[in-house]
Chains A and B, each alone.
Chain A
Amino acid sequence: MIIWPALTIALFLIADRLYERLGHRAYAHPILLPSVVLIGWFSLMDADLSAYQAATNGFGLLLAAAVVGLAVPLYRSWGAVKANKRAVLAAVAGGSVAGVLSALAPAVILHAPPELVASLGTKSITTPLAVTVVGSIGGVPSVAAAVVVVTGLFAALVGPWLLRAFGVDDDVATGLALGTAGHAIGTAEAVRRSDTMGAAAAFAMTVNGLATAVLLPLVWG
């Protein structure tokens, strides 16, 4: 069924055009329109979801290849953060652990189902990494993906305002926070604001994602 990938791409192109036109605002992120339309379609029409999944299998391959391609922003952004590398790495590590633990704590206290708890472990790492590793800790890839996207949108929409309200005014600190807590979506917001903020965010996103993806399967148990 070629119609499903074609429709998904068409919706993305429309959403991407709107995103450009609205000046890369997080609320217009191009993930939203295709997701909402397709979820609406499949729930209202009671259409065959497994046919959609089978037809869009190839997207998964490109997503995995895109993860490999993250080496480029990782390498490029190193220059922006190497002057303060200890502070940068400690901040990313601390923010990442704080984010994951504070998501897991209420889940465990409120007795959420174990596969839901596992799906929260990857909440702050970019979707392709989350989808790649969440299965190995017993989570559900699509739930993890949705949690990641909503987390990223929340970080991008609330983050810059929140940090300024708390008196954080330098671009590196803001960028690191957006990249660590809001992965690619937070990074896109940082890139829109300044080059330094964007590079700091890209670095934080990649290091956090990589470290979480390598460590989480080892410490989960």
Chain B
Amino acid sequence: MVRSLVGVFILVALLYGATFVVRALALPLPAPILGLLVLTAFLVLRRGVPPIIEAGSRALIRIFPLLFVPPIVALLAHKALVLSAPLVLLLAVSVSTIIGLLVTAFLYRALARGKEA
């Protein structure tokens, strides 16, 4: 529990560091993405995940769904926009998702198999 909190604190500190760098250098990149890239590079160089970082990441990923709730509730403020094109939204979440699933799976199978042959 304490370890998770310290881990979360470190991730928040990394985020603030990334925010500072993005602003100072006017980078065309959201700060959390820069933080993600920097932390990934650190893990690769170190060839392992420090337990505190692991605990913090695990804790935050576990509560992901909780953290999405406020943006979803804010959907109400955009009711008119959503209702302006219900068919478009329906197609985007259904047909387009099916296309994405099938293309990914079949591309992988075609390429991975080609390599074995």
List chain A positions with a Cβ less than 8 A from chain B. Answer: 8-9, 11-12, 15-16, 29-31, 34-35, 38-39, 42-43, 49, 52-53, 56, 59-76, 84, 86-88, 90-92, 94-96, 98-99, 102-103, 106-107, 110, 112-113, 115-116, 120, 123-124, 126-129, 131-133, 136, 140-143, 145-147, 149-151, 154-155, 158-159, 162-163, 166, 168, 170, 172-174, 176-178, 180-182, 184, 204, 210, 213-214, 217-218
Contacts and interface: CB of A to CB of B under 8 A. Distances in A.
B35 A149 contact: no
B49 interface: yes
Contact of A38 (B73, B97, B107): B73
Interface residues of B, number: 73
Interface string B75-117: 1111001101101110111111111111111111101100100
B3 to A, nearest CB: 14
Contact of B64 (A88, A110, A180, A184): A184
B1 interface: no
A62 B82 CA distance: 27
B21 interface: no
A64 B72 contact: no
A166 B36 CA distance: 35
Contacts of B44: 75
Nearest to A179: B104
Nearest to A71: B39
28 contacts: A63-B68, A64-B15, A65-B12, A66-B11, A70-B36, A71-B57, A72-B58, A87-B112, A88-B108, A98-B103, A99-B100, A103-B92, A106-B91, A112-B84, A112-B88, A116-B84, A120-B89, A127-B67, A147-B89, A150-B93, A158-B101, A162-B102, A172-B108, A173-B104, A174-B105, A177-B101, A180-B104, A210-B36
Nearest to A36: B72
